[in-house]
């Protein structure tokens, strides 16, 4: 008869291990096979494998901390305090022998869930950590900027006005989005030492114009740089104290910073320039085609080089004429990504976590205000499903806007612009373009995304 156990105590120094030893000794004495995983201050040791768990009759958790039970789905679990295992290990094992197994057929099920989880651990988990810390920054920043527009789309240009303050505050929160995303991806990978290179790398992603994809890259780079540095740097004991305070932060930030500046920054700025040229050459092309290209670019990296090139191009056309059809297409394409995702969170609730559904509510507001970044938390969490959907919807919106010959007089404002008389030419067609793009993205996301696995 085989059993598995986990022991864990708050400080993770003594009781965790005494309980583990007590259980192992008692197991030996009673002639049962028991494998004990310790979750102490040095992390998990003697880790239970999927096979261990599958073969075990019962899972014993002797802990005064919160031990994750995800791995044990479908298993019979006996939970006690860590001291109970120290005090009476034999009794505990006897109980595990005697207890009635609730459902014998669930062992297969448990392993299925485990496999799914394994796949999502690692990279996915790190990404989700970063995204979940980023979400409130996007919401706070985006909604405050939108509020500023509510005072009038140029109200922020008046120094000292509340609209100006709101835009600055919102901008500050928004500006922290990339550092937070990258910082917490790295934090998830490498714990505290990861935070510094991650945050700095994220900040650089934003200054070099690499957008959220650049920030994601920075986060992973920072996390794994720390992991690597910890492995290769061996210091005499007397200098070990320097590792967390000087050596790791300086070296990792240097490495990540250099990569962001040269390996990512240079090509990104070259790409932005090339894109701008390409778009300028396209000016005379078929309107619908140009709309599609602008839409694809706006929604591909949402703040990265493609998006910037398209946006800058739109703004530049506005400088040449009082109203611009290209700017209108750019704005429509920038509004549909968050709007479409927000729509998907309503029509396909199952595909989103509770947190994402809440975040979907603010995505409505951000999309309406032409703050494309509202889509980033979703895109970062599931890029392969979300980005194609936002690109398609934005392409539809951009093309329709161009075909309807809609034009706008300002480079920002979103829905607030629509309320201003004569700010949008062919308003009806413009609204149709945005709604159509939103629906396309919404439906595509709903189809492509998988159901959320309930824990």
Partner 1 sequence: MNITELLNVNLIKLELNSKTKEDVIKEMANILDENGKLLDKDKYIKAVTDREKEFSTGIGMGIAIPHGKSSGVKEAALVFGRSINGIDYQSMDDELAHIFFLIAVPEESSDEHLKILSQISRKLMHKELRKGLMEATSPEEVITLLEK
Contacting residues toward partner 1, per CB under 8 A: 10-18, 20-22, 25, 38, 40-42, 45, 64, 81, 83, 86-87, 237, 240-241, 244
Query: Given phi > 0 = left and psi -120 to 50 = alpha, else beta, which region is 16?
Result: alpha
DSSP-based three-state secondary structure for 158: coil
Q: Which is nearer to partner 1, 45 or 119 (CB)?
A: 45
Q: Which is nearer to partner 1, 67 or 264 (CB)?
A: 67
Q: Which is nearer to partner 1, 235 or 274 (CB)?
A: 235
Token pair of 245, please?
Answer: 């305070």
Residue whose tokens read 């990296």: 301
Bridge pairing between strands 424-425 and 407-408: antiparallel
Token pair of 264, please?
Answer: 């990512």
Separation of alpha carbons 191 and 252, rounded Å: 13
> What residues act catalytically?
9
Token pair of 11, please?
Answer: 């400080």
Question: Residue 40 Cβ, how far from partner 1 at the closest point, in Å?
Answer: 6
- Among the listed residues 303, 313, 366, 372, the one whose alpha carbon sits nearest the alpha carbon of residue 337: 372
- Among the listed residues 255, 288, 321, 242, the one whose alpha carbon sits nearest the alpha carbon of residue 400: 288
Q: Which is nearer to partner 1, 38 or 359 (CB)?
A: 38
- Whether 451 and 350 have beta carbons less than 8 Å apart is answered as yes
Separation of alpha carbons 343 and 378, rounded Å: 13
Q: Which is nearer to partner 1, 13 or 162 (CB)?
A: 13
Q: Tell me, what DSSP letter sits at residue 236? A: -
Separation of alpha carbons 132 and 226, rounded Å: 22
Upper half-sphere CA count for residue 115 (Cβ side, 13 Å): 8
Cβ neighbours around 331 below 10 Å, total: 31
Token pair of 214, please?
Answer: 């650049």
Q: Which is nearer to partner 1, 42 or 158 (CB)?
A: 42
Question: Residue 58 Cβ, how far from partner 1 at the closest point, in Å?
Answer: 22
Dihedral (CA of 295, 296, 300, 304) sign: negative
Q: Which is nearer to partner 1, 81 or 175 (CB)?
A: 81
Q: Which is nearer to partner 1, 28 or 115 (CB)?
A: 28
* Apex 372 CA angle, 367 and 373, nearest 5: 115
Q: Phi first, then psi: give them for residue 168, nearest 5 degrees.
A: -65, -45
- Whether 414 and 371 have beta carbons less than 8 Å apart is answered as yes
């Amino acid at each position: 008869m085989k059993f598995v156990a986990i022991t864990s105590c708050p400080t993770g120094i003594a009781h965790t291990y005494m309980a583990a030893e007590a259980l192992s000794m008692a197991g030996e004495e009673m002639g049962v096979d028991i494998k004990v995983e310790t979750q102490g201050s040095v992390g998990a040791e003697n880790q239970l494998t999927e096979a261990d768990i599958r073969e075990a009759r019962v899972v014993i958790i002797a802990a005064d901390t919160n031990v994750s039970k995800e791995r044990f789905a479908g298993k019979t679990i006996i939970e006690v305090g860590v001291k109970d295992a120290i005090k009476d290990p034999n009794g505990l094992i006897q109980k595990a022998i005697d207890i009635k197994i609730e459902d014998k057929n669930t062992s297969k099920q448990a392993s299925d869930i485990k496999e799914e989880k394994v796949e999502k651990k690692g990279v996915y988990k790190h990404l989700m950590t970063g995204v979940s810390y980023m979400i409130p920054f996007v919401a706070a920043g985006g909604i405050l900027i939108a509020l500023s527009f509510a005072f009038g789309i140029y109200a922020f240009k008046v120094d000292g006005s509340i609209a100006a303050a709101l835009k600055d505050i919102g901008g500050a929160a928004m500006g922290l989005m990339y550092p937070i995303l990258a910082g917490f991806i790295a934090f998830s990978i490498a714990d505290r030492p990861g935070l510094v290179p991650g945050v700095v790398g994220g900040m650089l992603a934003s200054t070099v114009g690499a957008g959220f994809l650049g920030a994601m890259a920075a986060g992973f780079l920072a996390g794994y740089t720390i992991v690597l540095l910890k492995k290769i740097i061996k210091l005499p004991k007397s200098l070990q104290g320097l590792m967390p305070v000087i050596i790791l932060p300086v070296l990792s930030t240097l490495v990540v910073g250099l990569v962001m500046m040269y390996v990512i920054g240079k090509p990104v700025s070259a790409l932005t320039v090339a894109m701008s040229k390409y778009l300028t050459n396209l000016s005379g092309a078929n309107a619908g085609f140009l709309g599609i290209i602008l839409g694809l670019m706006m929604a591909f990296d949402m703040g990265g080089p493609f998006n910037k090139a398209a946006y800058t191009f739109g703004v530049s056309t506005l400088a040449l004429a009082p109203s611009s059809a290209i700017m209108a297409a750019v704005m429509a394409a920038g509004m549909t990504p968050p709007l479409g995702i927000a729509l998907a969170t309503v029509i396909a609730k199952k595909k989103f976590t509770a947190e994402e559904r809440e975040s979907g509510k603010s995505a409505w507001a951000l999309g309406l205000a032409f703050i494309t970044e509202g889509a980033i938390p979703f895109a970062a969490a599931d890029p392969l499903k979300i980005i194609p959907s936002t690109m398609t919807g934005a392409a539809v919106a951009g093309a329709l806007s161009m075909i309807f010959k809609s034009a706008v007089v300002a480079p920002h404002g979103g829905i607030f612009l629509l309320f201003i008389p004569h700010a949008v030419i062919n308003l009806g067609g413009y609204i149709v373009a945005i709604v159509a793009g939103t629906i396309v993205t919404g439906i595509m996301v709903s189809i492509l995304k998988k159901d959320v696995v309930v824990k």
